[in-house]
Structure 1
Amino acid sequence: MQLSQYRQVRIEKLEKLKALGLDVWPRKAERTHGIGELLEAHDREGAKTSGEDLEALGQVVSVMGRVIAIREMGKSVFATVTEMGLKLQVYFRMNDLAEPGWEVVKLLDLGDFISVTGPVMRTRMGELSVRAQRIQFLTKAHKPLPEKWHGLQDKEVRYRRRYLDLVANPDVLLTFQTRSRILAKVRAYMEGQRFLEVETPMMQPIPGGATARPFVTHHNALDIPLYLRIAPELYLKRLIVGGFERVFEINRSFRNEGVSMRHNPEFTMMESYAAGEDLRDVMVLTENLFETVAQHLGAVERPFGVDAEGNPRLISYQTPFRRMTLKDATAHFGGFDRALLEDPAQILRLAREAHVEDAEKQTSGALLGALFEHHAEKELIQPTFITEYPVELSPLTKNLPGDAQFVDRFELFIGGMELANAYSELNDPVVQLERFQAQLAEREAGNDEAMLLDEDFIEALEHGFPPCGGLGVGMDRLVMLMTDSSSIRDVLLFPLMRPGTKGAGDEDEA
């Protein structure tokens, strides 16, 4: 049957429901309990309320949900309704239902929303159920559920029509419930460390705080260009100048870059700054944050992906995490002598062998970063802090003591990807201006991801910016790790997609 025919049949049923005198689009559902509440009260593993006890209790409830299964057995109908990924059986019997209840039941389709009222019971098969005495019709689904409830498998369709993905795949719904729990725990952890949550502009006159290509827009009333923020960093630092001691923001940021398994142009970060602290303090804060989130989800060891033999891989978030310098990690995983990384000519040779694009045009520091990405990044499965970055890669970071070429920065790698980035923040306005000017020179040379000069930020530093430890954590990648999701699209409710054709729900039904 064509989809249009299914839709027509459902609309005809809707008209019949109206003919019964029902309000088929009521403003409010009759509901005393959520499905989760009933399952928690009566159906927990090892603590299930028996049928006899339920009968003696005589608890009458009203629950609502989407109909996902209907089984007719003569003058009885068993239906399954779902709410927040949880399922509950409803038992309809013609003689139990107030008029016009039985006629309503016979007009139900998969995907419809209903509310039912009746006592909680357990069937002979032992399934927790509500024996319906009254049914309230809430919503008619004009279109059928995808693939007759066998589940949505096409990933492109799932991402484009996330609402159907959530209906058809309860595990997906669970992933996003877990995401919410993770973000709530991160917020609680930071507040427990005396950080104050703040908000900074998402539209900025100058994009700053990272090396990335911004999205550009225009404010009509002011007739000025604006940029979607690539990071909240420079505004959060202004707050430290203004007297805040410890601030954080769970923020949406935007970078005009490609889409991949680990990148989405719109993403969520947690960024924090603590006055009077340095990189070592931020390391402790970061590893304790990750351990706290893992424990909150049930275990300090959590699965993520598979190893080279295809076996499930466990990642341990037990503190402390491993620490390696960028040069040490590059040489170790690249299989060559670390001393080679002290010689610019050898660095260039190694970069050529690694097929680094435009190697001859890049500085030795930039090539070190490229070599690290090529040889080491994918090998860093267990949590590892990589430290001592070239200054070219870190224009907002303090130099290492006595070393003008390297800065006091770490990146945290887990599962072969970067999860966090942190600095001992640069607070010398003269040096910061020089770094910005060097970035401008890179832009003029063709690097459209290099930073712009933010004169107002320099002026803020000139009013005094104390020693400060800064941290940025990718929330989407954190959720990927904690939910064993291989793609960032699996942890974004609505990932950016190239415009496509009609998807799920528009295919013909057999």
Structure 2
Amino acid sequence: MTTGFTPTATIKTLKARAQLLAAIRAYFLQQQVTEVDVPALGHFSVTDVHLAALVVEVGNSTQYLQTSPEFYMKRLLAARMGDIYSLAKAYRADESGSRHRPEFTMLEWYRCGFDDGALMADITGLLQAVGVSEPIKQVAYGEVFERVTGLNPHTAGEGADDALAQYALQHFDVAWPNTPKSTWLDLIFSQHVEPTLLEPTFVFDFPACQCALAKIANNSAGQKVAKRFELYWQGLELANGYWELTCPQEQRARFEQDNATRSKQGLQPITPDPHFIAAMEHGLPECAGVALGVDRLLMCLLQEKDIAAVIPFAQG
């Protein structure tokens, strides 16, 4: 039996990948943002219903490969390390496909004193530094969602008719019980809205039910929205950013709500990370943070359609 050894990506692509990583580090060096190296393996994981961690048995203990470096990085922020970034592997129990791998390269960074608007400008600077020449648009979540689906995401799904569930049944033939509004929004957005975002586009002011770890505020229409944004290009989600929540009481409440939703959906509740909670109670500085998929960014830069074409070894 012959076993292949050659990389999935071409040598030319791997050199372009190395140049991208170098350009990212050069940008943050110029911006005086410090690179940090945090654990990939930890005793705690995220409570987010939409994220599943890979479980690893280490001796007699169960540990998790981290879905992102966020909790560790926020502990560093609470210790007053200042502006920081991580450029490393992250892990999620996703199925492999043209856009996903369980192991992928994530760039995550936090800027103290920034809000979501300032961070979008910072991301624009980074993208220009790595060779993105196209102008980057901005559009409110509610505007683009309603334009594509005809539904207002801030009000749909709140009445007895549950318009989001009806839309999903009509277009995707799914009828999931005990499904929260945020899941319907994720499904519809990923299937019908995301593919329309071909030019580089920031989508901002998400519905409040999708706040995750972001602050909640009122938009210009007086609706409560999450101060969160995502960056799309060529129909791909590239980045997810927040004006970060800093209130420990609200953070605890969101963890509890996550676990209540997990229980309703038959998922195992996750014990919130006590070290992260301690950091929040000590005091997280006002900041904004974002996670960006480096593999997907390279896909867009090289106009590749499959993530396997931009990583060294897609099959292990």
Question: How far has the Cα of 1:329 moved from its partner?
Answer: 1.1
Q: Which residue of 1 aligns with 2:6?
A: 162
Q: Provide the secondary structure at the position in 2 that maps to 1:237.
A: helix
The answer for the alignment partner of 1:208 in structure 2 is: 46
Q: CA deviation at 1:458?
A: 1.2
In the TM superposition, what are the counterparts of 1:95-494 in structure 2 within 5 Å? 161-163=5-7, 172-208=10-46, 211-220=50-59, 223-294=60-131, 300=133, 316=134, 318=135, 321-334=136-149, 336=150, 338=152, 341-342=155-156, 344=158, 345=161, 346-355=163-172, 357-401=174-218, 406-446=225-265, 448=267, 452-494=271-313
- By relative contact order (CA 8 Å, sep 6+), the higher-ranking structure is 2
Counterpart CA distance in 2 for 1:340 and 1:229 is: 31
Unaligned runs of 5+ in 2: none
- Please tell me the residue identity of whatever aligns with 2:237: E
Q: What SS class does the counterpart of residue 315 from structure 2 fall into?
A: coil
Long gaps (5+) in structure 1: 4-142, 144-156, 167-171, 301-315, 498-510
Give me the TM-score of the superposition, normalised by structure 2. Answer: 0.90
**Secondary structure in structure 2 of the residue aligned to 1:388:** strand
- Length-normalised TM-score, structure 1: 0.57
* Structure 1 residues 443 and 405: CA distance shift in structure 2, 3 A: farther
**Alpha-carbon separation, structure 2, partners of 1:289 and 1:493:** 24
The one-letter code matched in structure 1 to 2:169 is R
Larger strand share, 1 or 2: 1
Report Cα offsets for 1:452-502 as digits up to 9, x if no partner. Answer: 4122211111111121100111000011111221100011111136xxxxx
SS at 1:281's partner residue?
helix
Report deviation, 1:322. Answer: 1.3
Task: Say whether the 8 Å CA contact 1:209–1:230 is kept in structure 2.
Answer: no
User: In the superposition, relative to structure 1, how do residues 194 and 357 fare at CA in structure 2: closer, same or farther (>3 Å)?
Assistant: farther
Match of 1:33 in 2: none
Q: CA deviation at 1:331?
A: 1.7
Shift in CA distance, 218/365, structure 1 to aligned 2, threshold 3 Å: closer
Larger radius of gyration: 1
- Specify whether residues 406 and 357 from structure 1 end up closer, same or farther in structure 2 by C-alpha distance, changes over 3 A only: farther
Give the drift of 1:405.
Answer: 5.4
Q: Identity across aligned pairs (percent)?
A: 27
- Write out per-residue CA displacement over residues 35-54 of structure 1, whole angstroms, 9 at most, x where no aligned residue: xxxxxxxxxxxxxxxxxxxx
Q: CA 1:408 to 1:339, structure 2 compared with 1: closer, same or farther past 3 Å?
A: closer
Change (3 A) 1:432 1:381: same
Counterparts of 2:269 and 2:188 in 1: how far apart (Å)?
Answer: 20
RMSD: 2.5
- CA gap 1:274/1:486 in 2 versus in 1, 3 angstroms: same
The CA deviation string for residues 21-75 of structure 1, in whole angstroms up to 9 with x for no partner, is xxxxxxxxxxxxxxxxxxxxxxxxxxxxxxxxxxxxxxxxxxxxxxxxxxxxxxx
SS in 2 for 1:463: helix
* Cα distance change, pair 262–368 in 1 and its aligned pair in 2 (3 A): same
* 2:65 partner letter: L
Could you tell me how far apart the structure 1 residues matched to 2:84 and 2:154 are?
41
Deviation at 1:327, TM superposition (A): 2.1
Counterparts of 2:228 and 2:199, CA distance in 1: 19
Once residues 339 and 258 of structure 1 are traced to their aligned partners in structure 2, the CA distance between those partners, rounded to angstroms, is 28
Following superposition, the deviation at residue 446 of structure 1 comes to 3.0
Query: What SS does structure 1 have at the residue aligned with 2:314?
Result: coil
Give 1:154's aligned residue: none
Q: Say which SS state the counterpart of residue 387 (structure 1) adopts.
A: strand
- Alpha-carbon deviation of 1:337? 5.7
In 1, the alpha carbon distance for the partners of 2:191 and 2:210 equals 16
- Which secondary structure state, in structure 1, belongs to the residue aligned with residue 45 of structure 2? coil
Counterpart Cα distance in 1 of 2:308 and 2:75? 33
SS at match of 2:107: strand
- Give distance in 2, aligned partners of 1:215 and 1:193: 34
Residue identity matched to 2:6:
R
Output one character per residue of 1:320-360: Cα deviation in whole Å (capped at 9) or x when no partner: x21112221122123x2648954633333223222263345
CA distance in 2 between counterparts of 1:212 and 1:431 reads 20
Counterparts of 2:145 and 2:95 in 1: how far apart (Å)? 26
2:113–2:288 contact (8 Å) kept in structure 1 = yes
AA aligned opposite 1:401: N
